[in-house]
């Protein structure tokens, strides 16, 4: 299974930390698996039963935290590993949350809006006693959004008989959300890129970047990298993309992209403005550009043993989850490439969720500029902490991130049976 590498790494790091086998097994096992049957009356009057899952992996450091996804492929195996990753992510960026994940095995395209609402309400009824702003805090994920989260929260509040805005994050602004949330994953990625770029020993203006993916993560990332002074020379989405030696501009490119143009048809150079000099790339070949920093921000398993030798970047920032396969890693390390791992690089979203939760539950006042700056500072600090472990222990950044996360989880775990 593609996520085997995560359990293997926990075992490897556990051994390195001299943890006993039982402790390693506990880290690999979710604390609670909740599977519920969700009978929903469809618009045609018939009842259909859907399967809902919530997996609470670890709460040693705080309430379980993680998204709810609606997808036909939602399964216990997948949700378990995603919940595990959330425990590691919250620990590596050092916020007082644990890890969880959940979802419903459904193709939301096949349901009407009222059916989707009834399904969400049924799910909230079924899990309301194990969810809560101090117990387990869901958020939007694949195919879920602030509107679905609002249905979930309204039904949860009906069941517990009081208001509880902190039970979910990723809310719309008018429902208690925060402004920085939408761009937070991309912003966090730009912050770690800025910090790790110091390794290149050249001015930021000369550091070249290629980005695969121009959705929520890739587009905000491109904007913030440009604002920080980087030279983003290549961008591609699933349909292909463009390359320009002198760099591309974000704002006009994104505006035209949003209005329906293909990214490969838009060429606006950072220096010369609208231009005909862009080279076209495919969704794949954007990975092979001669750049300092490559950022896969689209889907998993893009860099494998089959294409790793073609990568020319010096640094890879994993914004997508699991974009580099286990067998590709040794090939990349042999070429001297640094990889900033996904559990650190794409943690900006959950960090913003923490700020939102602080606003709702602890009445912390938070404005856009301060949340943005806090997020940048915290992501950079997390990277420096991981780099320090990597240097001291002579490990990759991925292994170091796991060491740091697991050490923090173990330190917070109550010692029982004593």
Residues binding ligand NAD (CB under 6 A): 185, 212-218, 236-238, 283, 297-299, 319-321, 346, 349
Q: To the nearest whole angstrom, how small is the minimum distance from the Cβ of residue 286 to ligand NAD?
A: 7
Backbone φ and ψ for 23, nearest 5 degrees, come out as -70, -40
Q: To the nearest whole angstrom, how small is the minimum distance from the Cβ of residue 128 to ligand NAD?
A: 25
Residue least distant from ligand NAD (Cβ) = 215
Q: Which is nearer to ligand NAD, 14 or 241 (CB)?
A: 241
Backbone φ and ψ for 378, nearest 5 degrees, come out as -70, -40
Q: To the nearest whole angstrom, how small is the minimum distance from the Cβ of residue 284 to ligand NAD?
A: 7
Backbone φ and ψ for 274, nearest 5 degrees, come out as -55, 135
Q: To the nearest whole angstrom, how small is the minimum distance from the Cβ of residue 183 to ligand NAD?
A: 9
Length in residues, the chain: 418
CB 404 within 8 A of CB 385: yes
Q: To the nearest whole angstrom, how small is the minimum distance from the Cβ of residue 321 to ligand NAD?
A: 4
Q: Which is nearer to ligand NAD, 194 or 322 (CB)?
A: 322
Q: Which of 5, 65, 89, 101 is catalytic?
A: 101
Cα–Cα distance between 234 and 232 in angstroms, integer?
6
CB 57 within 8 A of CB 64: yes
Q: Tokens 């294409």 belong to which residue?
A: 307
Tokens of residue 124, six digits: 């909230």
Q: Which is nearer to ligand NAD, 40 or 196 (CB)?
A: 196
Q: Which is nearer to ligand NAD, 89 or 194 (CB)?
A: 89
**C-alpha distances in Å from residue 39, one per residue of 119, 125, 130, 150, 348:** 8, 12, 19, 20, 36
Can 101 be counted among the known catalytic residues?
A: yes
Q: Which is nearer to ligand NAD, 19 or 184 (CB)?
A: 184
Q: To the nearest whole angstrom, how small is the minimum distance from the Cβ of residue 149 to ligand NAD?
A: 14
- Mention every residue, 6+ apart, whose C-beta is less than 8 A from residue 406: 10, 13, 14, 17, 19, 27, 88, 91
Measure the N-to-C terminal CA separation of the chain; round to a whole number of Å: 37
Of 325, 350, 10, give the one whose Cα is nearest residue 184: 350
Q: Which is nearer to ligand NAD, 299 or 366 (CB)?
A: 299
CB 247 within 8 A of CB 223: no
Backbone φ and ψ for 53, nearest 5 degrees, come out as -135, 140
Q: Which helix (H) or strand (E) holds 186?
A: helix 184-196
Q: Which residues are catalytic?
A: 101
């Amino acid at each position: 299974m593609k996520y085997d590498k995560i359990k293997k790494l926990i075992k490897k790091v556990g051994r390195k930390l001299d943890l006993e086998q039982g402790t390693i097994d506990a880290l690999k096992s979710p604390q609670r698996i909740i599977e519920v049957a969700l009978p929903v009356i469809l618009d045609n009057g018939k009842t259909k039963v859907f399967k809902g899952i919530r997996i609470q992996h670890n709460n040693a450091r705080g309430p379980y935290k993680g998204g709810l996804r609606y997808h036909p492929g939602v399964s216990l195996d997948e949700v378990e590993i995603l919940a595990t990753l959330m425990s590691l992510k919250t620990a590596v960026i050092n916020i007082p949350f644990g890890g969880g994940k959940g979802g419903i095995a459904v193709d939301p395209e096949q349901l009407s809006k009222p059916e989707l609402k009834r399904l969400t309400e049924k799910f909230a009824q079924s899990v309301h006693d194990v969810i809560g702003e101090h117990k387990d805090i869901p958020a939007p994920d694949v195919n879920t959004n602030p509107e679905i989260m609002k249905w979930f929260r309204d039904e949860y509040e009906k069941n517990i008989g009081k208001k509880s805005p902190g039970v979910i994050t990723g809310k719309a602004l008018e429902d208690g959300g925060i402004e920085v949330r939408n761009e937070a994953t991309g912003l966090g990625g730009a912050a770690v890129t800025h910090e790790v770029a110091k390794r290149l020993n050249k001015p930021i203006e000369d550091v070249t970047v290629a980005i695969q993916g121009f959705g929520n993560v890739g587009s905000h990332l491109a904007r913030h990298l440009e604002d920080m002074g980087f030279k983003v020379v290549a961008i591609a989405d699933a349909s292909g993309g463009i390359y320009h030696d002198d760099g591309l501009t974000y704002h006009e490119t994104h505006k035209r992209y949003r209005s329906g143009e293909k990214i490969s048809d838009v060429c606006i150079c950072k220096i010369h403005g609208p231009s005909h000099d862009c080279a076209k790339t495919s969704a794949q070949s954007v990975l092979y550009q001669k750049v300092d920093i490559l950022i896969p921000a689209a889907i998993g398993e893009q860099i494998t043993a089959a294409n790793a030798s073609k990568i020319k970047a010096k640094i890879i920032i994993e914004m997508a989850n699991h974009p580099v396969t286990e067998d590709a890693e040794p090939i990349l390390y042999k070429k001297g490439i640094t990889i900033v791992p996904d559990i650190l690089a794409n943690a900006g979203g959950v960090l913003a969720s923490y700020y939102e939760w602080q606003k709702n539950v602890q009445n912390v006042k938070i404005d856009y500029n301060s949340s943005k700056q806090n997020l940048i500072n915290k992501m950079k600090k997390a990277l420096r902490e991981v780099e320090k472990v990597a240097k001291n222990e002579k490990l990759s950044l991925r292994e170091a991130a796991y060491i740091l996360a697991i050490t923090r989880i173990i330190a917070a775990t109550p010692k029982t049976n004593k």
